[in-house]
Structure 1
Amino acid sequence: FSGAESGIGAVYAWDGDKNVGQGRMEIVEASAPRKVGLRLDFIKPFEAHNEVTFALEPRGAVTEVIWTMTGPAPFLARIMHVFFNVDRMIGGDFETGLANLKMAAER
């Protein structure tokens, strides 16, 4: 952890094994209670730079969370998408993250 203690400028970085890789994310936008924006940089096993947004929309007694990740897809990445199912590779991580967010919000 580095940067600000919380909110804009707070940074989390990791350096793990081949399954986790190396990367960094930083909060770049925090518009409570509706939106949190992150810059997500993967370093290893391959380099990628993405913008992540958590948009929160009240829907009566519940809140809908819309989690998006966008970023450039250079030529090599587009070729990889032909051979690798990205949703299968990281979709479970998104599902786990949303389930963890739900549990934390309901405490």
Structure 2
Amino acid sequence: MAATTTIERDVVIAAPASTILPHLADLHRWVEWSPWEGRDPDLHREYGGEPGAVGSTYAWKGNRKAGSGDMVVRRVEPHDVEIGLRFTAPFRSSNTTAFRLHEVPDGTRVVWTMTSPVTVTSRIVGLFMNMEQFVGGDFEKGLARLKALVEP
């Protein structure tokens, strides 16, 4: 089995999973909370498939800050969304990102995970950048935006 690296962050949102899930599964709605929104005001977006359904897609192409890539929804269940995430620029990588929703006394704990293969490129990038802190910080920002969007 190939070596992988995993980055994970979580937040508790005072709302039921059924209220949160559409914001995660429908890729059109990511513009409302994604930590990467605003990096390129001229970002080109392209969507495909039925919003919020398995097989729906989102592709983007932007400036150096936004990069380019695509996502495909692989699984949507009441407490689980899995997305295939592929970057094509500024570097190439294929990842799996998942959201797990766990009911807790104060609402729903949302766990955002990204699993990536360890490659030569990721090892080189790792020499210059702490991906755990870099991507983890983006996840924290995105989850905070999602929480602010969803909570009453």
Distance in 2 between residues matched to 1:83 and 1:62, nearest whole Å: 38
Once superposed, which parts of structure 1, at least 4 consecutive aligned residues long, lie more than 3 Å away? none
Matches for 1:1-107 after TM superposition, within 5 Å: 1-32=47-78, 34-107=79-152
The 1:71–1:90 alpha-carbon spacing in structure 2 relative to 1, beyond 3 Å, is closer
| Contiguous gaps of at least 5 residues in structure 2 | 1-46
Deviation, structure 1 residue 78: 1.2
Deviation, structure 1 residue 55: 0.2
TM-score for both structures, normalised by structure 2: 0.64
Q: What per-residue deviation string (whole Å, max 9, x for no partner) do you get for residues 57-106 of structure 1? A: 00113111111100211123112212212134333321121012212321
Aligned length: 106
Distance in 2 between residues matched to 1:42 and 1:28, nearest whole Å: 16
Q: What per-residue deviation string (whole Å, max 9, x for no partner) do you get for residues 2-50 of structure 1? A: 1223221111111010001001111100011x10000000000000000
What residue identity is the alignment partner of 1:79? I
The 1:7–1:104 alpha-carbon spacing in structure 2 relative to 1, beyond 3 Å, is farther
TM-score for both structures, normalised by structure 1: 0.89
Deviates more, 1:73-82 or 1:18-27: 73-82
Deviates more, 1:56-65 or 1:96-105: 96-105
More strand by percentage: 1
